[in-house]
Every structure is written in structure tokens, then in C-alpha cells.
Amino acid sequence: MPGRIPDQFIDDLLARIDIVDVIQERVQLKKAGRDWTARCPFHDERSPSFTVSPNKQFYHCFGCGAHGSAIGFLMNYDRLEFPDAVEELANRAGLKVPYEGGQAAPREDSSELYELLDAATGYYRRQLAASTTALDYFQRRGLDEAIIARFRLGYAPDAWDGLKNALGTSAQRIALLDKVGMFSSGERGSKYDRFRDRVMFPILDRRGRTIAFGGRILTPPKAKSSADDSIAASTQEASADERKGEGPKYLNSPETPLFHKGRELFGLWQVRETHAKLPRLIVVEGYMDVISLHQAGVTQAVATLGTATTRDHAEILFRQCSDVFFCFDGDRAGRQAAWRALESVLPRMRDGRQALFLFLPDGEDPDSLVRKEGLAGFEQRLKDATPLSEFLFGDLAKDVNLATLDGKARLAERARPLLAQIPDGAFRDLMFEELERRSGAKALPAKAASVDAGKGERASMRPPQRSLVRAAITLLVQQPGLASVIEPPWHFASLRQRGVALLVELIELSRARPEITTGALLEHFADRSEIDALQSVAASQFPGGVEEARSEFIDAVRQLERQTRQQRIDDLQAQFGEGGLNENDKDELRGLLAARNQERR
């Protein structure tokens, strides 16, 4: 994979791109004073609450809370991953994306890889058209020609070198096909087709490009022809099991520069093509489950690729829509898979999001169930799905006697670390209240980080002065250039008030990156716990202009410096009362008191 994109490049890119132009190509904007407004593209509304600020290079919806930079908008609206959104904007600006460590994005090489995988998809589709056996398999599963074409289904013929002969016309192409996982290696390094005698399921990225394949074995193990045995034996291409025709029922491409199974979802491209706005997503376990649901009219189904639901999956799912259903078998393995999914989505459960769990009857999967009960039956099961809260508390308490104090304490002990992962908001509060109701134990924890929180700060014995720190943070987030009007050292960095550490970090970041905009600054904090609060203050409106903001910021910093001096005076006086001051401390105290008195006069 390419390395990390440098922060400086992100700043430069966002400084060159006008967020208004990017959004206006997709959403009809109207001028409203200094900003632009529209009806929000991320939720249904009658009156416009979506605002785009060219000064801050930032968008915000006061209705649903959507917000971010031009990068964030493309991620949410075009449903791109971060690197893809950066690439899109870089192309627009005529820039090439650099990667840390001197590595540049392998754009030319990747283009060839995509082209070869697309050619492989075409090859398998042609082979399917020529194979009565493979076509009969899909028809027995109830698939029509339209759904076969929509998912680009194909067939890998029963040959060791079918794809290799069709596409590997040079040593370079063979090397590239091997790079994207289309070959296996023999004992002496010779290459042969990874997929043989399998119906093929192309795995597409969010741009509709083939990045990998899944293959299901079509026929039971059988003796190979003498010609095939000759190929395998002469080149030592296959293991003993492969030469016997054995192998897993489903075989996926390996991890490659284009394919990382923990971050991909089968069927997501088809879902996005069908729905301009997604009402929900349904996560199932298999390729045929997805396709059969789409065939039956449940066109929001996707599948993980032979792996448990990851946090990356959870982020991708909730980026598409707010309601996600996880559909698993009702047996022990299915419930374990559901629990892993729950653990992955908990840190993503912001207010307004829902995760629900549908457990299927014994012996059924979504494919068999939708064919047996039809669309109406499956929809009814979705309506009866178990909410995350019910599943979590039910599973944690399944072997606990809640009639005893010991059992209630055990439930509280199990639940607290899980609930602590939920972001701040009403859902988090309600989950802790429910834990308290079930266990009787006081359960509400300290709030997660906010703009008033700092790292490793001691609690102050003095009343908190959050409004002043918050005001300085708000001004700095909205106008990062204000950091240049103050010079270090910043004595208020030692002030024991919530939010001071974050304020200092913002100042240092803004001074180190003078061109940074509000949107770029928020990108820096995208994966931090402070992001929601920072986005909130970024969306607020400062009533004055640039000079007024500059004056307000300088005044706020001066007041923080005064509070820092008073804090030091209080500390020294407390030590003096205990007889603990040396001569240097006494000199410092006299100097601080004199400075304070002079200022008062």
C-alpha cells in the first residue's frame, strides 16, 4: 500500500481547492451573506440548514450535524475512502499525491492492475456463457440474466492455465497478474491459475472497479484429465491436494495492493448504484446471500469477505447510512460473529445511528430464507430484529443471576468497559442509565474528551473557567491564522484548566502549518475524540470581522496568562504557609505579587 499522505500536502491541496466549487457540482447552493446554503444532501428536510463557508473551507448541516472539509464531503457524498477523496481533489488541482517516505502513489502501476482485473472479469464472464454446467448452477439458485450481469458473475474453467494463457501474454503481465492474486505458485516458483472450475464473484471497490475475486467450487472432487496431470506434474505447479481436485468450498483472492478484505464489502457498489440515498444496509455472510437478496428485491445487502466485521467495516457501513442490520445464523457461531460485529460498531455508535441483529432459524441462511418466505417474510423478520442495546445486555446477562447482588455486580463489571467505547451523546447516556436500572450500580462514567478536556491534566481546586478557554479555541478553529499573533513561550500551558492542553496543541499546529484552513485543521483531528466538539465550534458564527476576532483572541490569551500567574501565586502562598519556600521561591512570589499589583494600578 502507499504510505501516509503528508499533512502539508493536505493543507496545500485544501488551500487550492474551493469547497464551494466542489459541493456546487453536486448540490444546488444559494448565496446567503458570506456563506452558501442548500437543503442538506445527507438527510431529508424542507428548509435549508446546510451551510458552506468559503472562508473556513468547511460545510455544516445544522439539521443532521454533517460537517467537514472538501475531503470529508467527497467521502460522505461520493462515498469514497480518504485516499480516494484526496486523489480526486488532487486530480482536480493538477497535483500528484506524494506519500511519506518518498513513495509516490503508484498510479500508473495501479491502472494496469485494474485493467488486468477488469480483463479477468471479462474472461470469466465469457467462460460462463460457454459453460452449461455453470449457467445451470446459477439458474438452480434462482438467478436471472439481469442479476448475473449486474454482479458480473463468471466461471473459471477447469484448467491450470486458462487465465494465464488468455491474459498472461508477457512476463510483465504474468508478474502483474500474480501481484493481484490471480496465480498460485508451484514448488519451483512456476505460476498457475488460482481459480479453477469455480463460479466467480468479482469483488468491486467503491468506484466499481474489480479488485479481487471470490470463487465457489462447482463440481465435487474428480480425477483430472491426463493433460492437466501432465501440466501439474511437469511444472510441479500444484500441491497434492490440488492435483486431486480438492480445495475449499469458497476461495478468495489473497491480500494485494488493491484488496484488503478487512476494509471491503461485497455488493456495496451494486447497492450504491441502486440507491441515491440509502435507507439501511443489511450485512450477511456469503456472496450468494447478497445476490439472492438483491434478486428478491432486498437491494441493500452486502457481505464481509470471509472475515469477521472489523472497525473499518463499521466505519464504512455507517458512512453509507444510519441503520445497519447484521444478519447471522442463530447457532453459536452466528452469535459469536454477531458479538464481534457489536464490538466493532460500539465506538461508531454516535447519536442517530442504529445497529440491529437478525438471527435466522436453524438450518436457514438469507438465501434459503428469502426464497422460502419471499420478500414480505424477510422484511417482517427485519422489523423484528433485535436492537444493539437488547442484544448487548441480553448476552452479557445470559449466565448471570440478576436476582443476586453478585450477579448485578458482574453485569456492571462486564458492561462498563464496553459502554465506555460509545461516543458522547444521548445513546451513551441512555445505555449507562439502562445498565444502572438492570444492575442497580451507579454506572455513569466521566464524559469522553471535549474541547474543554486536556491530556493528563490534574483537576483544579479552583472553579473551572471553561468559557474563556472555549472562546480561545473557537476563535482559533474558525481562524487558524490567529496563532501567529502570539509568540512563545505560552505560560498558560501550565494552567490547570480543562481544554488548555488542546488549546496549546491547536496553537502549535496552526503555527507549524501557516496555510492551514478550518477544514484542514479538522481533518487533522478526524480520528481523535475531540473531533465532534471541534466541528461544533467550527460551525458557530463569530459576529465580528477579522480585526475583532484578533482582538478577542489576544485578550483571551492575556486573561489566561493572568490566571496562570494567579495560579502560581496561590501555589507559592500555600507552600509558604507550610514553611516550604526557599529563597528563590520567595523572590519569585514577591515578583509575581508586584507584577499583579502594578497591573491593577
Burial of 215 (0-12, 13-18, 19+ CB in 10 A): buried
Q: What is the pTM of this model?
A: 0.64
481 alpha carbon, distance to own chain's centre: 30
Q: What number is the average pLDDT over the span 42-64?
A: 84
In which order are the strands placed within the sheet that holds 210-217? 154-156, 198-204, 210-217, 250-252
Q: What number is the average pLDDT over the span 303-319?
A: 86
Q: What number is the average pLDDT over the span 373-392?
A: 94
Asked if residues 495 and 560 have their Cβ atoms less than 8 Å apart, the reply is yes
pLDDT in tens, 185-216: 877 778 899 999 999 999 998 778 999 999 99
Of the candidate ranges 78-87, 189-198, 421-430, 457-466, the one whose mean pLDDT is the lowest: 457-466
pLDDT in tens, 438-465: 998 776 554 444 455 444 443 333 333 4
* Structural domains of the chain sorted by starting position, each given as residue range(s) with its CATH number in brackets: 7-104 (3.90.580.10), 107-220+233-259 (3.90.980.10), 262-394 (3.40.1360.10), 397-439 (1.20.50), 466-600 (1.10.860.10)
- The pLDDT, as a whole number, for residue 91 is 85
Please determine, for residue 307, whether its predicted confidence score (pLDDT) is greater than 90: no
Q: What is the mean pLDDT of the chain?
A: 83
pLDDT in tens, 560-601: 888 888 888 887 777 776 666 777 777 777 777 877 777 665
Helix 70-77, helix 82-93: angle, nearest 10: 120
**Cα angle for residues 573, 574, 578 (degrees, 5° grid):** 110
Burial of 199 (0-12, 13-18, 19+ CB in 10 A): buried
Q: What are phi and psi of 448, to 5 degrees?
A: -70, 170
Asked if residues 277 and 45 have their Cβ atoms less than 8 Å apart, the reply is no
- The backbone region for 393, taken as left when phi is positive above 0, alpha when psi lies in -120 to 50, beta otherwise, is alpha
Please determine, for residue 82, whether its predicted confidence score (pLDDT) is greater than 60: yes
pLDDT in tens, 115-174: 999 999 999 999 999 999 999 999 999 999 999 999 999 999 999 999 999 998 889 999
Of the candidate ranges 177-191, 326-340, 527-541, the one whose mean pLDDT is the lowest: 527-541
CA distances 170 to 118, 167, 177, 178, 321, Å, are 17, 9, 11, 12, 45
478, 534, 86, 422 alpha-carbon torsion, rounded to 10°? -170
- The pLDDT, as a whole number, for residue 103 is 47
Q: What number is the average pLDDT over the span 249-278?
A: 89
Q: Return the percentage of the chain with pLDDT > 90, whole number.
A: 36
